[in-house]
Structure formats: structure tokens, C-alpha cells
């Protein structure tokens, strides 16, 4: 009887130990929720270069996990978001940023859509203006006469 109690006790102990281990694995997230939130916010601004169309926050690729740890560590060391972004850019270039900076090489990227919009509006304005001009001018006497003649000729051939 005593041995059964001991076995049950041992089993419970093992179960408890198991759950304790699971609890420990999730510890980093709970350790400092504010820092973890800051880390998540910053890494969702950074591109995972292995998967390219995912943020580091979203990705589970090996490099993304390493970079998340790197960012977390840098924050613990007291580096600002700006400094961490600079750290990333010196290694991986502007491509790592989901919001690329406004500078000479990205000028077309930022202004391109505006230029296209302006070109579209200008074309539209130009066409509208020209259309109205044509309507106002209308046809001259000569042209009216010629049109009438052509139409008459058309109806005649149709009749035939």
C-alpha cells in the first residue's frame, strides 16, 4: 500500500516537474513585457532578409530568430530604437527597413507615384480643354456642305 502511495506521489511529482519545465520555456516573454513589446514593435519595422516579404517579428527563420535576440539584447543594454536601426542598416543596408529613408537613391521610389499622378492629371486637363475647344469651333460652312454631300452619297449607295 505504501509503495502505491509512493508511486502516485512520484507520478504527480513528475507531472508537476513537466509543467514547470514548460512554464520556464515561456519565461523570456514574461520577464519584461515592456521590453518585449518594444522589441516586437521594432522588429515589425525590419525586413527578414531570408524570406524578404516578411518582417523579422513575423518570421521564424533562423536568422530572424537570431536578430530578434540581438535586438532584445541591445535593448537590455540600453540602446535606443534609432541606434538599433542604424546597427541593422550598416549590416544589411536600407533594404532591411520596411520604411525606406528619403534620400537621393530612393527619390524615385517616394516621388514616382506622385509624378505619375501629376502626369495623369495634366493629361486629363489637357484633353478636357482641347475637347471643349473643338466643340466650340464646330464645323465650318464648307465642312458642313461636304458632310451633307458625303451623307447623301452614303444613303444613295445604301438604297441601291
Partner 1 sequence: MTAETLPKTRLYLLPLGIFFALVVLLGVGLTLDPREVPSPLIGKPAPHFELPQLHDPAKTFSEQDMRGKVWLLNVWASWCVSCRAEHPVLLELAKSNAVSIYGLNYKDQRKDGVAWLQSLGNPYQISAFDLNGRVGIDYGVYGVPETYVIDKRGVIRYKQIGPVTSEILKEKILPLVNELNRG
**Footprint on this chain of partner 1 (rule: CB under 8 A):** 49-50, 52, 62-63, 66-67, 70, 89-95
**Residue entry with cell 513537466:** 18
Using the minimum distance from each CB to partner 1, give the nearer residue, 9 or 95.
Answer: 95
* Shortest separation between residue 128's beta carbon and partner 1, angstroms: 17
The DSSP-derived string for the chain is -HHHHHHHHHHHHHHHHHHHHHHHHTHHHHH-HHHHHHHHHHHTTBB-TTTSSSBTTT--SHHHHHHHHHHHHHHHTT--HHHHHHHHHHHH-GGGBSS---SGGGHHHHHHHHHHHHHHHHHHHHHHHHHHHHHHH---HHHHHHHHHHHHHHHHHHH-
- Write down the least CB distance from residue 53 to partner 1, Å: 10
Nearer to partner 1, 18 or 93 (CB): 93
Compare residues 95 and 98 and give the one whose CB is closer to partner 1. 95
In the complex, the smallest distance separating the C-beta of residue 69 from partner 1, rounded to whole angstroms, is 9
* Nearer CB in complex with partner 1: 11/119: 119
CB of 94 to partner 1, least distance (A): 8
Amino acid at each position: 500500500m505504501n509503495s502505491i502511495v509512493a508511486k502516485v506521489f512520484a507520478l504527480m511529482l513528475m507531472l508537476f516537474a513537466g509543467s514547470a519545465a514548460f512554464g520556464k520555456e515561456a519565461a523570456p516573454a514574461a520577464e519584461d513585457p515592456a521590453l518585449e513589446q518594444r522589441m516586437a514593435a521594432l522588429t515589425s519595422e525590419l525586413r527578414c532578409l531570408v524570406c524578404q516579404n516578411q518582417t523579422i517579428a513575423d518570421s521564424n527563420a533562423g536568422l530572424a530568430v537570431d536578430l530578434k535576440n540581438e535586438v532584445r539584447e541591445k535593448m537590455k543594454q540600453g540602446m535606443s530604437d534609432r541606434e538599433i536601426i542604424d546597427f541593422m542598416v550598416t549590416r544589411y543596408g536600407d533594404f532591411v527597413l520596411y520604411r525606406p529613408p528619403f534620400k537621393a537613391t530612393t527619390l524615385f521610389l517616394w516621388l514616382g507615384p506622385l509624378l505619375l499622378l501629376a502626369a495623369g492629371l495634366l493629361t486629363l486637363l489637357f484633353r478636357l480643354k482641347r475637347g471643349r475647344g473643338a466643340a466650340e469651333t464646330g464645323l465650318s460652312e464648307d465642312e458642313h456642305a461636304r458632310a451633307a454631300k458625303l451623307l447623301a452619297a452614303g444613303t444613295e449607295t445604301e438604297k441601291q
